[in-house]
Structure 1
Amino acid sequence: MRYAVIPARGGSKRIPRKNIRPFAGRPMILHSILAARESGLFDAILVSTDDDEIAEIARDGGAEVPFRRPADLSDDQATSVAVVTHAVAWLRAAGRTPAEVCCLYATAPFVRPADLRAGLAALDDSSVQFCFPVTAFDFPIQRALARAADGSVTMREPEHQITRSQDLQEYVHDAGQFYWGRAEAWEAGAPVYAAHSRTILMPRYLVQDIDTPEDWRRAELMFEALARMPSTSD
């Protein structure tokens, strides 16, 4: 069976109540739940939370909240892998036999059903354990600058100071939206960033980490702009 697991603890500090704060007309977590539902991929969408209000909103949106996340998985140090592993263990104990499990973040308003489908398709190759979306850095990281307290800077890789951008290797970063994985890989604690994983390359305008109020406002502006664009994919 195939499941989505949405980690959504109640104790967000930098943006209080981030997982259910209104974003584009609905609580943030509902964007992820709706994308998962519209994908048609999941036998169930589970929300792993320690918070009663989040649980109520998630259920109203069509997700299941069949357990409360333990306290030791609800602090700032808890990892997504640990949260998903706990959910997989609960599913097995309940006789629900997970095969593929997608860790879908609660703060991923740009996630699209088509991208969830593409991620699952990568697992058709039996050697692939995980698949997740990435996007390219918008500036060559070889030319990154370290800024000192006095305002002075040093280059990360000074040998590339005059190298043409097109001659530099392009690097990508995690889009922070979702991670498809085989249930056994989650349980084994296998690394996600590894040769046994595959990635989906996303356009930068569909990727925004949301950790600060500035991030939130930028995401809102991006979302509003996308809503005005002709639809090319679901």
Structure 2
Amino acid sequence: MNICIIPARGGSKRIPNKNIRLFRGQPILAWSIQAAKEADCFDSIVVSTDDQNIADIAQKYGAEVPFLRPAELSDDFTLTKEVIQHAIKFLGLNDSINDSVCCLYATAPFTQAGDLKKSRDLLSSSSINTTVFTATSFPFPVQRAIRIDSEGYSQAIDSSAAACRSQDLEPLFHDAGQFYWAKVSTWGENTNIFDTGLPLILPRWRVQDIDTEEDWTRAELMHATLFPSHEKMEK
């Protein structure tokens, strides 16, 4: 059994109503639901929320909302893994080798159905319990990062990197913030999912974190360029 769980709480601070704000004509949450439906690899698509308005919109676009998340799991300090563990327990999922859960973020409009299916296959073929997640490369060598001190002066993080050609520095990657596949038993562990994860590498032009108004504007411009004729989901 494959279950998609989309966390979507109602208390976003930096971008009010972030999870249901209109993104290219429909609630941003709807794009994630649409990708999950198009992937055609989930037995259920469940939205975990504490907000009835979000629940209504999620159901309108085809997701299930079998519960409202308790307040103690909906504040600024709640970890995503805690939200998934709560949903797993509520849904009665077990540790069967066939039970897998994909945590898909509500604000991930660049998620593609093909990537969801490819990640599921990576998880199924792995010889160990692991997590499959999307990642992308840094656009600039992070070894050459600088910090700014309290007086405004710069300081190299790694002075030795300045003497290296950029092509000789190790390529490094970061979480693309779209989705995470894992077996039920793996979600129950208190380990860092990136330590032994299997990253699905995406091109940088298909990745945009959305935490600020500037991020939101950039994401809409990117999305309109990449998917100019992408249809809104039928309501």
Q: What TM-score does the superposition give when structure 2 sets the normalisation length?
A: 0.93
List alignment gaps of at least 5 residues for structure 2. Answer: 231-235
Aligned CA RMSD, in angstroms, stands at 1.9
Q: Is the 8 A contact 2:97 2:183 kept in 1?
A: no
SS of the aligned residue for 2:103 comes to: strand
SS of the aligned residue for 1:42 comes to: coil
Q: Which amino acid aligns with 2:46?
A: L
SS of the aligned residue for 2:177 comes to: coil
SS of the aligned residue for 2:128 comes to: coil
Q: Give the direction of change, closer, same or farther, for the CA distance of 1:218–1:114 in structure 2 (3 Å limit).
A: same
CA-CA distance at 1:97 after TM superposition: 10
Q: Give the 5 Å matches for 1:139-154.
A: 139-154=140-155
- Aligned residue for 1:27? 27
Q: Deviations over 1:138-188 (max 9, x none)?
A: 000000010124331011101111310000001000000000010111123
- Aligned residue for 2:139? 138
* Cα distance in 2, alignment partners of residues 3 and 226 from structure 1: 28
Q: Deviations over 1:48-78 (max 9, x none)?
A: 0000110000000100000010111100000
- Aligned residue for 2:50? 50
CA-CA distance at 1:39 after TM superposition: 0.1
* Cα distance in 2, alignment partners of residues 59 and 27 from structure 1: 12
- Aligned residue for 1:225? 225
Aligned residues: 228
Q: Which amino acid aligns with 1:64?
A: E
Q: Where has structure 1 moved over 3 Å in runs of 4 or more?
A: none
- Aligned residue for 1:92? 92
1:211 aligned onto 2:211 = yes
- Aligned residue for 1:4? 4
SS of the aligned residue for 2:152 comes to: coil
List alignment gaps of at least 5 residues for structure 1. Answer: none
Q: Which amino acid aligns with 1:120?
A: R
CA-CA distance at 1:191 after TM superposition: 2.5
Q: Is the 8 A contact 2:137 2:174 kept in 1?
A: yes
CA-CA distance at 1:25 after TM superposition: 1.0
Q: Which amino acid aligns with 2:27?
A: P
- Aligned residue for 1:188? 189
SS of the aligned residue for 2:6 comes to: strand
